Amino acid sequence: MGYLLLLAVATAITLGVLLFRTHRALWMAQYQIRLRDHERATVFRFLNEIGSRITRRLDLDQTLEMVVEFCCGATRAEAGAIFLRDKEDPEVLQARVVQGLFPPLHEVASGKILSKRKFLSDFVKKERIRVGEGIIGLVARNGESILIPDAAADSRVPQSANELVPLEDLILAPLSVRGKVLGVLVLINKKDEARPEAPFDEQDLSLVTALADQASVTLDIVRLYEELSEKQRLEQELHLAHEFQAALLPTRMPEIPEIEIFGTSEPALEVGGDYFDFIEVDEHRLGIVVGDVSGKGIPGALVMATLRATLRAEAPGKTSPREVLRKVNSQIVRDTKESVFVSATYGILDRRTGIFRFARAGHEPLLCCRAENSELSSYEPNGIVLGMVEGELFDLLEEGEVDLRSVGTVVLYTDGVPEAMNTAREEYGVARFQSLLRRNAGQPSQQIVHTVLDDIARFTQGNPPHDDITLVVLRWIGEAAYEAEVESVRAG
């Protein structure tokens, strides 16, 4: 009897602990979602503000001030600064904008300057910091954000900084484009009235990194714009939009042993607006998107930035491409003018099964081709472009599914491929494109992309493209990779 009672009590305690853990896990999950929502909402607000600011006037100092002000407000930082690489000597960084009481973040030889508050900002701005030197130089060299919740306990923070401005906690984030660090954003001393003692934490770091990521591409454009004369500016606006656009494209292809993935986007001189991206959904799934924004120039590029930010925020953890596109659509409908829309196909690739589930929001059909019999299938489930309608009409969006193990190769592309034009104003056409894919279905992904681009170049005979050309090719090599491995084991 005593044993049974003990067992009952033990079971009750175990169940209680399990329930508590489950409840806590659920609460934590909800908390994380709320935090992610907050981060996402802040990034959108930032994009809107920076977008409307640069549409009114492209001015580097004003843009930088807006970025620092916004980031200080969003994280409750007391002060902040942006350090940029020097134009003449890119190995040197200098503070371009300083807001609030901001101390130098490297060893200062003399304490004299620091005793005068009013000169502090000028002092910080005059200092030249070499890449790799001090904590700012470290971020510029490594291109990675740093969170320091307790400055006094961190050897990387010079203690001389504390003499005038008590330095409690700080966040440093690189401003980088295409892997090149343009500068460093620094925020110091979190002062949240609701939690006065709380220092910067991982959530703040994540938010600042996301904001810095969005700010970098805009800064790159504004900086380039400032370097041009008025006449050149008019001529170069589209070129700048391309630069901006290029900065939004992935620089590396995902590396998955079972699947070969290759994508490229060739910008046109005139229209533009193509985009593709790879997003990690979870440890087994990869999100792949190919899109085309209808607007051109800087407004079009800004819509693309919104699309990229929304997708990157919505995609992680979600296994339904339709649901992700529904969320993205709501955001784009709210953020863009009536006349701008985006066509996009978003799919989720499961590397374990080779299944590619996708939804097509008014985008070109998805093509699949088998190497064995050169059979080509075109998939065009129903779906309306993003940014035009919400509710019932948009919800007509359907999902499709293909098994990469049986179809072999999947091709995503934009209309720039079939609509490429030669000097006689004839279009390259879907038929020629599909026939080329049939003949090259067994080739590696990168090879297929280059074969198509070469064929388009042959067809257009040097006629400059009037629209961007984007291609993303996925090819299942799971079995082949496995067989090669077995073969090498046998041989070795």
- Half-sphere exposure at residue 60, Cβ-oriented, CA atoms within 13 angstroms: 18
367 versus 477: smaller Cβ distance to other proteins: 367
Verify binding: residue 245, other proteins, rule CB under 8 A: no
Whether the Cβ atoms of residue 185 and residue 145 lie closer than 8 Å to each other: no
Verify binding: residue 361, other proteins, rule CB under 8 A: yes
Verify binding: residue 269, other proteins, rule CB under 8 A: no
Strands 77-85 and 180-190: antiparallel
> Which residue in 71, 385, 441, 474 binds other proteins (CB under 8 A)?
385
Verify binding: residue 339, other proteins, rule CB under 8 A: yes
Site for other proteins in 459-478 (CB under 8 A): none
Closest by Cα among 286, 296, 352, 295 to 321? 286
Verify binding: residue 389, other proteins, rule CB under 8 A: yes
Q: Report DSSP letters for 105-132, one per residue.
A: SS--S-STGGG-GGGHHHHHHH--EETT
Closest by Cα among 467, 466, 469, 468 to 423? 466
Helix/strand/coil for 22: helix
> Which residue in 7, 26, 234, 393 binds other proteins (CB under 8 A)?
393
Strands 274-280 and 355-361: unpaired
Helix axes 202-226, 230-248, angle to 10 degrees: 150
Verify binding: residue 417, other proteins, rule CB under 8 A: no
CA angle 326, 362, 399 (to 5 degrees): 55
150 versus 270: smaller Cβ distance to other proteins: 270
Task: Single out the segment in contact with other proteins by CB under 8 A; choices: 187-195, 281-289, 375-383, 404-412.
Answer: 375-383
Verify binding: residue 197, other proteins, rule CB under 8 A: no
Distance CA(98)–CA(110), nearest Å, equals 21
Verify binding: residue 17, other proteins, rule CB under 8 A: no
Task: Single out the segment in contact with other proteins by CB under 8 A; choices: 182-190, 357-365, 453-461, 479-487.
Answer: 357-365
Lookup result for tokens 């954003």: 185
Verify binding: residue 102, other proteins, rule CB under 8 A: no
Distance CA(397)–CA(325), nearest Å, equals 9
| Maximum distance among all Cα pairs of the chain, rounded to whole angstroms | 96
80 versus 272: smaller Cβ distance to other proteins: 272
Neighbour order of strands in the sheet with 146-148: 129-130, 92-99, 77-85, 180-190, 170-177, 146-148
Task: Single out the segment in contact with other proteins by CB under 8 A; choices: 4-12, 187-195, 228-236, 332-340.
Answer: 332-340
Verify binding: residue 340, other proteins, rule CB under 8 A: yes
> Which residue in 388, 407, 420, 449 binds other proteins (CB under 8 A)?
388
Lookup: tokens for 184 = 């460093």
135 versus 324: smaller Cβ distance to other proteins: 324
> Which residue in 103, 362, 400, 408 binds other proteins (CB under 8 A)?
362
Q: Total number of residues binding other proteins (CB under 8 A)?
A: 22
Task: Single out the segment in contact with other proteins by CB under 8 A; choices: 69-77, 193-201, 310-318, 379-387.
Answer: 379-387
Verify binding: residue 322, other proteins, rule CB under 8 A: no
Distance CA(257)–CA(213), nearest Å, equals 29
Residues found near other proteins in the complex (CB under 8 A): 294, 296, 338-341, 343, 361-365, 380, 382-385, 388-389, 393, 396, 415
